[in-house]
Amino acid sequence: MTGEETTVLAGLLEEHRPQPGRRANILRTLLAVQQALGHVPAGAIAPIADALAVTEADIAGVLSYYPDLHTIPRGRHVIRLCLGEACVANRSAGLLTELKNELHIGLGETTADGRFALERVYCLGNCGVGPTVMVDDRIYGRVTGDQLQEILKHIS
């Protein structure tokens, strides 16, 4: 971790230190760290465990359980492609191939320039208009290859 990250982490841990007689809120602390640093660095696990008076295994368990917690930096824009049954039936696998080829990354990876991260989801609640792609907080339905290119072009 950089010196700046260490300073930010120390401030966050002071804010999230459990009150006497209260249990630590590991998830809330990890979300705050990720919000501030963009991810939960491996070097932060031991200090977090110490500050919360829990084990490193407790921290690792929460990190591995929640898919929105990340231990490596992610892209500025997160592209989530639905690979649930309805979207697969509507050819989302083809969109996955196009995304991999266009971005030169696989699922769970981030582009070299840090612009995009590619993730799979199994339902975005948009089954009637699959295939569905979510970019950051915006959902797109009935996405074709051409539309996918337009979507990517308009993301800064």
123 marked ligand binding residue: yes
Q: If DSSP codes are grouped into helix, strand and coil, which group holds residue 117?
A: strand
Residue 150 tokens read as 């337009």
CB contact at 8 A, 43 and 82: no
CA angle 121, 69, 1 (to 5 degrees): 140
150 marked ligand binding residue: no
72 marked ligand binding residue: no
Distance CA(29)–CA(51), nearest Å, equals 10
In the numeric block, the tokens 């500050």 are attached to: 51
87 marked ligand binding residue: yes
Distance CA(3)–CA(48), nearest Å, equals 16
- DSSP letter at 136 equals T
CB contact at 8 A, 132 and 141: yes
CB contact at 8 A, 78 and 39: no
Binding site feature residues: 82, 87, 123, 127
Binding site feature residues for [2Fe-2S] cluster: 82, 87, 123, 127
